[in-house]
Amino acid sequence: MALILSGFVFSQANYPHNAAFAQPVEFREYIDNFDGYSFMYPYNWIRVRGAGADIFFRDPYVLDENVMVEISSPSSSYYKSVQDLGSPEEAGKKVLKQYLTEFMSTRLGVRRESSILTTSSKVASDGKLYYVVEVNIKSYANNNELAVMPENRVARLEWDRRYLSVLGVENNQLYELRLQTPEKSFLEEESDIRRVMDSFRVNKIAA
């Protein structure tokens, strides 16, 4: 799957975890006519340049919460439909595999637990087919005490995140909208998060 997924992991800031969505949320629309996509995002989120994605916004207070778009290379991919990825379930496995590759750690004592929560397909208001994938990844690490044998070291939860991807195809390219949020924030913010996801559209680039 020719996705160029960025490898950024942000640590949790010392702010209320629902700061971005605590009040009624206003949204802005981001439209990229050059690359051919659009989506809505919370008005107070900050654009981060040089993050490796085509576009990247993050919550100014909850640094674990962000949204980005990735696009496959036009020179190395030729997609006719999101169904080129297989079924939604097959696409979900590929997405999770990419996440785990991206978050691979060389630190001793680190392990990751992951699961695919849901996979589905939908035809949006633009008449195009999209796949939706949700996964959970937890990261555990021990503190590598020198006086404690490795088998007796206690692994502690570092972070617990939900990753939500919307996949679409246009212009012979694969587009992925990707949302990251702490799992503990998801239930409180779900309706706003899904509004961002539901707003994602891939658009034909003018010749």
Q: Is 60 within a domain?
A: yes
pLDDT digits (tens, 9 = 90+) for 158-193: 999 999 999 999 999 999 999 999 999 998 999 999
pLDDT digits (tens, 9 = 90+) for 79-129: 999 999 999 999 999 999 999 999 887 777 788 999 999 999 999 999 999
Q: Is 8 within a domain?
A: no
% the chain with pLDDT above 70:
84
Q: By mean pLDDT, which of 24-33, 69-78, 102-111, 168-177 is the weakest?
A: 102-111
Q: Is 65 within a domain?
A: yes
- The boundaries of the domain holding residue 197 are 27-202
pTM of the model as a whole: 0.83
As given in the structure block, the two tokens for residue 53 are 């994605």
Q: Is 58 within a domain?
A: yes
As given in the structure block, the two tokens for residue 33 are 């006519």
Counting Cα atoms < 13 Å in the Cβ hemisphere of 138 gives 9
- 100, containing H or E segment: helix 88-102
Q: Tokens 């034909």 map to which residue?
A: 204
Burial environment of residue 31 by CB neighbours within 10 A (0 to 12, 13 to 18, 19 or more): exposed
- Find the CATH number of the domain harbouring 184: 3.40.1000.10
Q: Tokens 């990707």 map to which residue?
A: 178
As for how many domains the chain has, the answer is: 1
